[in-house]
Chains A and B, each alone.
Chain A
Amino acid sequence: DIVMTPTPLALSVTPGQPASISCKSSQSLLHSDGKTYLHWYLQKPGQPPQLLIYEVSNRFSGVPDRFSGSGSGTDFTLKISRVEAEDVGVYYCMQTIQLPLTFGGGTKVEIK
């Protein structure tokens, strides 16, 4: 199974400041079709997860441009350029290149 390891597990951020979350996979997520199947989700308190970024760096419809994703192979990063109060929650990375599909354990982001 591909293990997804997020760093850090928790983050406290001042509004307006940047934040960065990393995710490392135990195997490369680069498919032979040239795509990398790493996605980022945010689960706000009391809500279901919502897709933020798909295939490393593509923002999903309606996601603010303060969110960006980068990385390749086994190392990936989600960045928030200026954190807002509505960004609190748990951020999950997920791989869909290989079964079983696996999620990272999550990074909890709170506002200072």
Chain B
Amino acid sequence: QVQLVESGGDVVQPGRSLRLSCAASGFTFSSYGMHWVRQAPGKGLEWVASLSYHGSNKYYADSVKGRFTISKDNSKNTLYLQMNSLRVEDTAVYYCAKDSSIAIRCFDNWGQGTLVTVSS
């Protein structure tokens, strides 16, 4: 079955960088779009970034555009989120999610999430 396992979450100071990873298994990783969604403590869900199956088309929320980069390595079945210039408001659980299509249709499987805390 589909498995998505996030890692890389940590406590970091404002302005620093962090890279999240999402190891995928149980499906043909190279054939599906992938996404990152975050959830601040006690809050709702916020879409962060998406990319298409081949990794060429990338989309970002305005709140992270220019600071975060989504990418994937199809040879390693891994999705990444490079987060630069982190802000206190980036504190959240970050989930990776698989799409049901090659790009954006619906998020049909989610990982357990990894916690990023930005604090001085």
Interface residues, chain A, with chain B CB atoms under 8 Å away: 37, 39, 41, 43, 47-51, 54-55, 60, 90, 92, 94, 96, 99-106
Contact = CB atoms under 8 A, between A and B. Distances in A.
17 contacts: A39-B106, A39-B107, A43-B45, A48-B95, A51-B106, A51-B108, A60-B108, A94-B45, A94-B107, A96-B104, A100-B47, A100-B62, A101-B47, A101-B50, A102-B47, A103-B44, A103-B45
Interface string B6-44: 000000000000000000000000000000010000001
Contacts of B50: 101
Interface residues of B, number: 21
Given A47-B112, A51-B108, 16 more contacts: A41-B45, A48-B111, A48-B112, A49-B37, A51-B109, A51-B110, A55-B106, A60-B108, A94-B45, A100-B47, A100-B62, A101-B50, A101-B104, A103-B44, A105-B44, A106-B44
B46 interface: yes
Contact of A54 (B44, B45, B100, B104): B100
A92 B106 contact: no
B76 interface: no
Interface string B74-107: 0000000000000000000001000010001111
Nearest to B45: A103
Given A48-B113, A54-B100, A101-B50, A92 B45 contact: yes
Given A54-B100, A100-B62, A49 B110 contact: yes
Contact of A50 (B59, B104, B110): B110
A54 B99 CA distance: 12
A41 B44 CA distance: 12
A39 B104 CA distance: 12
Contacts of B113: 48
Given A48-B95, A48-B113, A103 B108 contact: no
Contact of B108 (A37, A54, A100, A104): A54
A48 B110 contact: yes
Contacts of A100: 47, 61-62
A105 B43 CA distance: 8
Contact of B47 (A43, A54, A90, A103): A103
